[in-house]
Amino acid sequence: MDRAELSITVHRTGDEAVLRLAGEIDMQTAAQLSTVVNEVLAEPPPRIVLDLGGVTFCDSQGLGTLVVLSRKASHAQSLLLLTNVGEFLLRVLDITGLRSALMIRNDATTT
């Protein structure tokens, strides 16, 4: 079985850090995502944007990681915002009831 890969690029501006993700968020890559977000939270910006436009897969470990990171950001007085969330992931978030636990902004809509 091939090892899942996740590419994360970080771009910081004055009030936000944008993390562009590409690949899979799963049990093999969730720790990598946590590490990068925790590094950003060492000096927390008001907003952390996870751009999920390049994410092709997310399993239950990935979902749990997103919720945990959202809570960690909140405790650090930062907002974790998901953007460019694919239809497949929105559907999974709806089915699991986790959509309400996360801040999602696709295009002009915020939920």
pLDDT at 4: 74
- pTM for this entry: 0.91
Exposure of 76 by Cβ count < 10 A (0-12 exposed, 13-18 middle, 19+ buried)? middle
Tens-place pLDDT, residues 61-108: 999 999 999 999 999 999 999 999 999 999 999 999 999 999 999 875
Distance CA 69, CA 73 (A): 6
Tens-place pLDDT, residues 8-17: 999 999 899 9
